Amino acid sequence: MTFTLQELADLCGGELYGDAAQKVTGAAALLEAAPGEVTFYADPRYMARLKKTRASAIFVPLDFSEKTAAAQIRVANPSKAFEQVVLKLAPKPITFAPGIHPTSVIAPTAKVGKGVSIQPHAVVESNANIGDDTVIGAGSYVGPETVIGEACLIYPNVTIRERTKIGARVIIHSGAVIGADGFGFEIVEGRYQKIPQIGIVQIDDDVEIGANTTIDRARFGRTWIQDGVKIDNLVQIAHNVIIGKNSIIAAQTGISGSTRVGENVKMAGQVGVIGHLIIGDDTVVAAQSGISKDLPGGAWFGSPAVPLADAKRQIALVHRLGRLFDRIKAIEKKLGL
């Protein structure tokens, strides 16, 4: 698909500074963009990349004043404008026709709604309930008495174990395991004995769960992922954890059992959280932080995590230790020590 720069500007409600008739046929990031492609610039940290780009046109903020070799389209939100163009240029989304593939295995007592697509070699166990317009990908497993709401997208090779409750418009990516046993053991007569994990996992509406993420069933009660939560790949969520509405959990984060995460919380990659903590609403936890106590909100970093401002000060002081050591040595030399 081809657009003129004027068509792009009109599409995004932008103001064009350049040749209105010039055409673009693709979109790419600043450093990867080639002639004939459009890119975007929204962060001053990437000015050096902007100066090196070979793109024919750039979405820039409304107050942008730098000169560029490429044409400029000034918009309120360059990232969003770029996204609109990418969607126009992208191939049509893959869709799955309703129907049950003959190689799938559907228990006689399972209920399958209207417009459902069940792909090759999927298994739907007894008394499971699949809502209208949901897709169950190839090789996926839906356990007994599990309920999946309408318009969900379960990618291939997902395991959803027994009695899981999933709301509407949930997306679960390949390799995810929902409802595995929680990690519960106790020592009996000198040996570890398994504690029965008889609770469930509940996932509310509009949640997205990344590839190879695991969400364990509760020891009793529920592990609960609330509305609008977005979970990245390779995340471990233990038994009886609650993740509040609209929180975001990035890759390789691990949250131990019975922790309560508030609403609108943001956890960056490789965060570790010990069990039975309470993390308040609107908390931000920086990458690789270790959480060992309740957090009331605000921004935190480090292991153990401290308020972000304190963490920055501590890091700055550590980086000055070398110079301080040199000064002490010089003073000792003058004093003859």
Examine the domain organization and report whether 189 and 288 are in the same domain: yes
Judge whether 166 lies within some domain: yes
Examine the domain organization and report whether 18 and 146 are in the same domain: no
Domain of 13, CATH number, reads 3.40.1390.10
User: What are the residue ranges in the chain where pLDDT is below 70?
Assistant: none
Examine the domain organization and report whether 85 and 105 are in the same domain: no
pTM of the complete model beyond 0.95: no
The two structure tokens encoding residue 276: 């039975």
Domain of 270, CATH number, reads 2.160.10.10
Examine the domain organization and report whether 7 and 152 are in the same domain: no
Looking at 181-330, which runs of residues are DSSP E strands? 185-188, 191-194, 200-203, 208-209, 214-216, 222-225, 230-231, 236-237, 242-243, 248-249, 254-255, 260-261, 266-267, 272-273, 278-279, 284-285, 290-291, 299-302, 305-307
User: What is the domain extent for residue 287?
Assistant: 99-310
SS3 of residue 181 by DSSP: coil
Angle at 239 between CA 238 and CA 240, to 5 degrees: 120
Q: What is the largest CA-CA distance in the chain?
A: 91
Tell me which residues are annotated as active site: 239
Judge whether 333 lies within some domain: no
Judge whether 155 lies within some domain: yes
Examine the domain organization and report whether 191 and 280 are in the same domain: yes
The two structure tokens encoding residue 92: 């049509």
pLDDT of residue 337: 78
pLDDT of residue 1: 78
Question: Kind of pairing, strands 111-112 and 129-130?
Answer: parallel
In the numeric block, the tokens 């399972």 are attached to 110
Examine the domain organization and report whether 114 and 236 are in the same domain: yes
- What are the pLDDT digits (tens) for 169-210? 999 999 999 999 999 999 999 999 999 999 999 999 999 999
CA distance 278 to 151: 33
Judge whether 182 lies within some domain: yes
- What are the pLDDT digits (tens) for 82-117? 999 998 888 888 889 999 999 999 999 999 999 999
Judge whether 319 lies within some domain: no
Judge whether 334 lies within some domain: no
CB of 211 within 8 A of CB of 233? yes
- Rg of the chain over Cα atoms, rounded to whole angstroms, equals 26
